[in-house]
Each structure stands twice: as structure tokens, then as C-alpha cells.
Chain A
Amino acid sequence: MEVDLSKITLRPFKLEDADDFLLFAGDDQVTNYLRWQTLNSKQEALDHIKDVCIPHPWRRSICIDNCSIGFISIFPFSGEEHRFKANIGYGVAVKYWGHGIATKALKMAVPQFFADFPDVVRLEAFIDAQNLGSQRVVEKTGFQKEGMLRKYAYMKGKLRDMFIYSFLSTDLPANP
């Protein structure tokens, strides 16, 4: 399958994305390293889009030809002390792995997010130590690896080592 990366776009989710959403959100391989439970039905996909995706502070559908094939989610922390920080997560349908889509999407998303949330100074990603593919994606996007946090948290019932990566607003290339 050839993928023309110039056809990758980001946009908010719509209820009409439910079938496409289920294709990746209903796949254990995609949700393996996410906190979400794998979705099981179109109704669950509709509910998730309505209750989570649409009200979310910054969630985008990764699209090819305006068809949803994945998501990027950036969540600013709440509270006066923490709102300068945000956390990023993402996933792409397995069929589309291996083409650089997630990297392309992240490279588009990061500057957009900092422009939308000018108070955020630090964007961080926690990547499972075993999730090599995702580590490569964030590294190619320009995140800096800061260290490995040993036995940092439970993910789906198992205690995980996680790499912590960050992208600061000051890491963005200066405007040309």
C-alpha cells in the first residue's frame, strides 16, 4: 500500500467517524499501550466520540482523504500549578502502520497545539519501555528522551517501566 503523506490531515472528530473509529479503537493492538479499554461496538464508538472526543480540550482525528485512521490527544494538566504542562497520546489503525503516518501527524499537531495553548511550556509523553515503535515516532518528531522511570505506573494491570520524553515550546523551530 502506498501512502501519500501529503494527504494526512488533522481535524476534530465527528459522530460520523464512528465506524472508522471502531476500526482502530476496537483493536487490541492499537489500545495495548493506551489507558483506554478496547471498544466493542459501534454504540461504544458513538458514545466515546460524543463523551470523550468531542468535549476534549485537544483531540484530533488523523485522516487520510478525510477518513479517520487514528487520533492524537493532548491533555493540559489542570490546576494553577500544572496548567503549563500537557500530556500527549496517539494511535493509528494497524493497517496504516509503517508508513510514517504517526510521525507526520505529530509533527503537524505539536506546533498547532502550542499555538492553541500558549500557556503550555512543556509537552510530555510517557512511552512504555517495550513500545519501540512509539519511541521512534516521538524521537523523529523531535521529543527529547529524558530518562526511564522504573515501575512508574500500572497499565492494564501490569507494572510498567516508561520512558519520559518532552517537547518544550522553546524547542519549536523559530518562525521562518
Chain B
Amino acid sequence: MEVTSVVQLDQTKAKDECLNLSLRPLQVSDVDDFMVWASDEKVTRFCTWEPYTNKEDGLNYIKNKVVPHPWFRAICVDDRPVGAISVSANSGNDKCRGELGYVLASKYWGKGIVTRAVKMVVDTIFVEWPHLERLEALVDVENVGSQRVLEKAGFQREGVLRKYFILKGRSRDMVMFSLLSTDYQS
């Protein structure tokens, strides 16, 4: 019985690594796929926003926030959006810095998808934005899964920022991670 489970686990792992993953812009026509993860409270637990409850709000989000965003991509499995990944831009003295964020439908958790997506972003963002020196990410201290993603993707943990953020009314400690363009080149 145990031997059989081990074999199945290995097969599943091999299958996960073969998942056809791609990044592309998220469009208004993707709203139904968007609603799958955006309405899931497991997914929004560490997000600043509450789960979406109606398609109208989803459409407005895609039209008003996603489409004009400096860098926003849908994470796609077999060309269907299952999550999203984005890099924010800053101006002036902070132009060297961009913040990474990502979200994934819970059905797809545990397969290494976000780690792969982050690596795909890292492979392209420093080329697309030559002024970018530092890609950073802030992760709730309790969001261990997300911390592991960044560690596996080669980010460096810089420290814990105490009560850095207010999430849904509570102050949270956040772990700061960064990847420099020079880290990536070496």
C-alpha cells in the first residue's frame, strides 16, 4: 500500500513539472477565470482585499486596475488563467525598485507553479525595465508557503519589518525579500 502511494506521488510530481505554464496579459474576457481565485477566501487570506462576490466588480477591477497596470500578467496553465503575477513601478528616487506580488487559485497550490512563474518574471523584468535594480516582495510572517516560493526563486531574506502593514484591520509583521539585477546576472 505504501509503495503504491510513493509511486503515485512521484508520477504526480513529474506531471506537475510538465504543466504547460505561460504568462500573458489578463483581459476582460478572462473575468470568469479571474472570479475562480478572486472569490476564494483561502486565496485572499493574505491579500488586502476581500473575496470578490460579483462579476461586475471583477470586470471593473480588470478594466480599471489590471489593464493600465505597469506590469501585470495572468499565470496560465494550458492557456487558461489560474492566477496572476505583477510588478509595481515607482518614480523619482525610488525608480530602482519594483514590488512583486502574486496570487494563485487554491486548486493549483503545492505544484511549484508560482515558483516557476516568479522565475519567468525574473528572467524578463530586468531586461524590460533596465532601470530596475531591485525587485522586492513583502510577505506576511505567517505566510510560509509564499516565503518558500521566494527562497526557491533565489530571493534574499533581508529581515522582518514589525507592524509594517495593516491587513484587514490588524497590524502585521512582514518579511522583506529582494532580488537584485546583479544577483540575477551572477
Contacts and interface: CB of A to CB of B under 8 A. Distances in A.
Contacts of A84: 163, 166, 171
Nearest to B178: A150
B130 interface: no
Given A121-B171, A152-B97, A146 B133 contact: no
Contacts, number: 64
A35 interface: yes
* Interface residues of chain A: helix, strand, loop or mixed (majority): strand
B162 A146 contact: yes
B153 interface: no
A159 B97 CA distance: 11
B171 A147 contact: no
A87 to B, nearest CB: 13
Contacts of B156: 150
B178 to A, nearest CB: 6
A3 interface: no
* Interface residues of chain B: helix, strand, loop or mixed (majority): strand
B158 A149 contact: yes
A159 B163 contact: no
A154 B96 contact: yes
Interface residues of A, number: 22
Contacts of B134: 150-152
A168 B173 CA distance: 12
Contact of B94 (A122, A145, A153, A168): A153
Given A150-B158, A151-B134, A164-B176, 8 more contacts: A84-B171, A122-B163, A122-B171, A147-B176, A151-B96, A154-B95, A164-B159, A168-B162
19 contacts: A81-B48, A122-B171, A146-B159, A147-B158, A150-B156, A150-B158, A150-B178, A151-B96, A152-B97, A152-B134, A153-B93, A153-B97, A154-B93, A154-B95, A155-B93, A159-B96, A159-B133, A164-B159, A166-B162
